Amino acid sequence: MDSLKQYAEARKAFADCMDVDGGLSLQKGSARFHIGLGFYEEEDYAEGQQHFDAFLAMEGVFPDERKRATSYLSDLKKNLS
């Protein structure tokens, strides 16, 4: 997937998924991600990884939460290995 298409999909996901509390929920298939108030949760890591990575590629969006989510993803990858 080229970066422009990835960015466009991430922007659409962001616009479509804002929660009333200012958090963000991303849904793709059975995978759901929520970013806000400093936490990240996932229900199906493998299926949603590419979509979540596209969101993380966006610059300037929730930088603190993005950093925590990226750290969590790194730990999760290690645990799944």
Instruction: Give per-residue pLDDT as tens, 22-62.
Output: 455 555 555 555 554 333 444 444 445 555 555 655 544 55
What's the pLDDT at 38?
37
Q: Please count the helices (runs of H) and the strands (runs of E) in the chain.
A: 3, 3
What is the pTM for the complete model shown? 0.25
The C-alpha atoms of residue 64 and residue 58 are separated, in whole angstroms, by 13
Count of domains for the chain: 1
What's the pLDDT at 11?
60
What's the pLDDT at 32?
54
Q: Is 34 helix (H, G, I), strand (E, B) or coil?
A: strand
Q: Which domain holds residue 10?
A: 3-80
The C-alpha atoms of residue 80 and residue 77 are separated, in whole angstroms, by 5
Phi, psi of 15, rounded to the nearest 5 degrees: -65, -35
